[in-house]
Structure 1
Amino acid sequence: AKISDVVEECPYEGNLLSAIPVVTCMVRPSVELKRPNNVPASPKLQPASVCQDYSALRLLQCPERGCNATAQFDFEDLDLALYHCFMSVSINQTDFDRDQGTDESVQWVNISGVNAVSDVLPGQNPCGCSNKSSISEFPLLKSFNVTDMLRNQSGIIDVVSKI
């Protein structure tokens, strides 16, 4: 993701860009089929395995104005069959209120070379608010399908965001 150069107030834990991308997949354990040594017998069918959810999260953070933040998800070594994988990104709002007529936005979020979202205006600045938790988190990206990306890129997804 990229934020604009005019985002300069109210850092979250020292970062003007602070977001959490999460990948959630329906998975099944991998099943290894063995070839019989003798004359083939009638096949023994494996019971259907139940899909489960598997989630992974990373941090996207950077402290400067106009910065890029990066994160990588690596599912390469997991012994899981990945089905229906989606990414969501929530951002902790810092200075996105456009109070001086400036473009205080998340300029883009790029997922493994694909522009997933651009020019998002979260619209809030929790500085000076008594109840910061009510406006601090903003859903930047919801349920972006990354299934093919994981399969085509050996289980690795790169996320880059610019404020």
Structure 2
Amino acid sequence: MTDTRIAVLVGSLRADSINRKLAEKLVAEAPDGVVLEIVDGLADLPFFNEDLEADPGEAVTQFRKVIDAADRVLIVTPEYNGTMPAVINNAIDWLSRPYAAGVLKGKILSVVGVAPTPYGAKWSHADAARSAGIGGAIVVEDAIVSQPVHEIDVFTDADAQARFREAVEKLAGFQPAAA
């Protein structure tokens, strides 16, 4: 039996981002039979422009290949101004194209992350899940975890760690309903 491969997209480009640290922790502590890999290079993707679709360039082509090869996608993201960061929106735009035939179509996906807001990036996660779903992804709703970081240390709090671990397990084990 082969491992379930999960491509991890981090919504913060900052080197010292708490969401990047969370993604790295999830990679390091992946359950047996699951391999998580952080996909770097989101900052290298040009802003989506339909004029570029026919020849999007090497960064987009490679990005699509990585996502296509993955079994699942996990977005680990904060919240910027009440919604998802532009880098995640742009990634979803590129993955959802060409319309109804992008590599996002049928890809199993979920969203987790933390933010220093009372809702812990809940709006960002909902927007990313909705956008990815419209783009063709199969969103695992019960694997979405939004955690405020002003209340706890997500790296030491056992309950928070259990929620993130369970989200990865649910994403990895999700089986879509038969058509």
Give the TM-score normalised by structure 2.
Answer: 0.29
The structure carrying a bigger helix percent of its residues is 2
The structure carrying a bigger strand percent of its residues is 1
Between structure 1 and structure 2, the one with the greater Rg is: 1
